[in-house]
Amino acid sequence: MRTILRFLTALACVTLLLYCSGSNREEVRMLFTGDILLSDNVRREYKKYGEPPWQNMLSLFRQSDFVVGNLERGEAFGSSINNDDIAMLRMSGFTTISIDSKYSNIANDHSINYIAKELSYNQIASITFSNSPQFFTIKNVVISLVTTNASSMKNSAKAAEFPSVEIMQKIRLARTLSNVVVVCVHWDGELSEKPNQEQLRVASWLTKRGVDVVVGSHTHVVQKPEMVNGKPVFFSIGSYLLDQKYPVTKDGFIADIRIRRGKIYCSGITTHTIPNSFFSRVSSSSVDLRIKPTKINNLFNVSRYTFWPLSVSDELRSKTNLQVFYKNKKVKTKPLNGLVALDIKKLDGRNEYLFTLERHYSNDDNKVGVRPYIYCFDEKNIYARWRGAALAWPLLDAQILPANHEVLCALHEVDSVPSANRQHRGWRVAAYGWNGIEFNIEADSSTCESCKSLYEKLLSAPMPEVKIRGNSSE
């Protein structure tokens, strides 16, 4: 009896050990560091001592699955960064670098292209506004990363209004195709230790539209993380490797985000830069932020079909392809390239169709633009049913109306023809009805009003309805 008891006890211990080991293997750990400068005084210091700035953090970084740093603006215009600096990032454990979004929208800036090419050569993903969202599959968890600029500074490359149609599309695609959506935001508030009203407005808009975690930069000081609409927002994680002289910039923060058992857990690691140095060192290995765990999203699937995103990046340009599986077996089909949006709807009330927006060149207008497609699918193939190049005006965006799946709501550019239906911001909204073969312009005024209301809601940016508290879920 004792032998059997000892055997059962040992078996239980082994089972528990295997269970715990399996759970640990399934945990995904992501680290987000603050602003990084690899030139000027910072470079002089690591050249002097002959070691990378992250020497004391190698173990921490290498034990993590996903390490993201934000390359500061000086690198974009200074062009002083070289391949040795980028190789040092890779050897230190960085997997992804976001290029400061204040300037990352300059598609033809030679220094940014050079940096992106060097990052790619060293197997580090580079994220900019132009090439996001990008999708990363880690231990069967799909993570999407978007970087954007919400700065109103005059010398920003894209000091445009926030939100915009582009950022709406990027967030929507990321939300549809990933378990976790992370948005890195470059915004105002330099040297301010509390988020300003504009930061609150932007954070509220992002979290209301499906963003799971927001990580802010550019203030160069740490701003306390909060829950906004039930989602964690790191308003600013400060500077990580920078040669600023202000004492308040010497304290930094690493966002420590872990995904396990279907939930997102957020904590932090504090850093400090000692006098006469620009290298950050860990001052506290773990900080409880009192932020509640949040659930991850389910992957996009329907009727035993699962849709997996695949990012194909060429430095500053990136395309999202779609891989389709039926009962875990890949469906043989032509890749869906240049995805902007997708959805599954019963357009005729009976059969399910795949609706996509794709960015393609068309001979109809000799432009690369957003084009709507309708696909039919079965267990062996996906094939195009309708290619909507024949809508009334140049297209910015389109969605199936949630309340009526037979209606396509389209956001058009305003052309030179006068129209009583003209919208603010240079938009016009039109409704199209599905007749079983194609979409035709819809004349019903109530349907048109429903489409207008849809886009007004999607693109509005309200302030939070209640005052934000650190441990509140509202």
Q: What is the 3-state secondary structure (H, E, C) of 219-263?
A: CCCEECCEEECCEEEECEECEEECCCCCHHHHEEEEEEEEEECCE
Q: Of 30-34, 152-156, 214-218, 266-270, where does mean pLDDT reach its minimum?
A: 152-156
Residue with tokens 């399996």: 22
| pLDDT, tens only, 402-436 | 999 999 999 998 754 444 443 445 688 999 999 88
Q: How confident is the model at residue 24 (pLDDT cuts 50, 70, 90)?
A: very low
Gap between the Cα atoms of 345 and 354, Å rounded = 7
For 8, the 3-state DSSP assignment is helix
**Cα(354)–Cα(357) distance, rounded to whole angstroms?**
10
**What is the C-alpha radius of gyration for the chain, rounded to an integer number of angstroms?**
24
- Diameter of the chain measured on Cα atoms: 92
Residue 251 · residue 223 · CB < 8 Å: no
Question: Which pair of tokens denotes residue 276?
Answer: 């006469």
CB 144 within 8 A of CB 131: no
Contact criterion met (CB below 8 Å) for 243 and 235: no
The 10s digit of each residue's pLDDT in 54-73 is 888 889 999 999 999 988 75
d(CA 329, CA 289): 42
Give residue-wise pLDDT tens across range 244-279: 777 788 888 999 999 999 999 999 999 988 888 888
Q: Which of 234-248, 344-358, 379-393 has the lowest mean pLDDT?
A: 379-393
Phi, psi dihedrals of residue 326, rounded to the nearest 5°: -115, 120
Spatial distance between the Cα atoms of 179 and 455, rounded to a whole number of angstroms: 25
- 3-state secondary structure at position 275: coil
The H or E element that residue 280 is part of is strand 280-287
Q: Which residue type is seen at 371?
A: R
Give 105-126 pLDDT, tens digit per residue: 444 455 677 788 888 888 999 8
Tally Cβ neighbours within 10 Å of residue 112: 27
Beta strands in 118-244 (DSSP E): 125-127, 134-138, 141-149, 180-186, 213-217, 222-223, 226-228, 231-234, 236-237, 239-241
